[in-house]
Amino acid sequence: MEKGKIETMRLEIESLSKNEEFARVVVAVFMSRLDPTLEEIDDVKTAVSEAVTNAVIHGYENGNGIIAVEAEAQEDGRILTVRIADRGTGIKDVKKAMEPMYTSDPSGERSGMGFSFMEAFMDEVEVESEPGKGTVVTMKKRIGG
């Protein structure tokens, strides 16, 4: 990778649970240009998995839709930025949704720890959402930092 250069990748996948694994592997391969450790790769894969799963289950409520996965590798500072976006139901109260153990799943099968895991494994997590318009989760991780 050239000094100072920013490289990007964009992928669109259907909102199917089976595509979560594909998304996290694609991001892991893309981030390899920053020479990450295995632990850093695992951290990012876990965060991507949680974000895509949220889009499938909560954003589209297991229905049809498209999830955009974008990644940006910045050589200076060795920063990986990952964005997971859907055009699903959106989140009414982002602050409340990001609280540990909060879930909008009435079945009680979901733990409500998705955003907590993202925050634990990434250096920054930002969530933008609007009811009826969708959600964008932006996560950053310093590689080798």
Is 33 in the active site? no
- Which residue in the list 24, 50, 70, 83 is annotated as catalytic? 50
Q: Which of 40, 54, 83, 87 is catalytic?
A: 54
Buried-state track 57-70, b at ≥16 Cβ within 10 A, e below 16:
bbbbeeeebebbbb
| 83 is an active site residue | no
Please tell me which residue in 7, 19, 110, 119 is annotated as part of the active site. Answer: 110
Q: Is 19 a catalytic residue?
A: no
**CA quadruple 104, 106, 112, 114: dihedral, nearest 10:** -70
Q: Per the structure block, which two tokens stand in for 42?
A: 């695992």
Residues serving a catalytic function are: 50, 54, 110
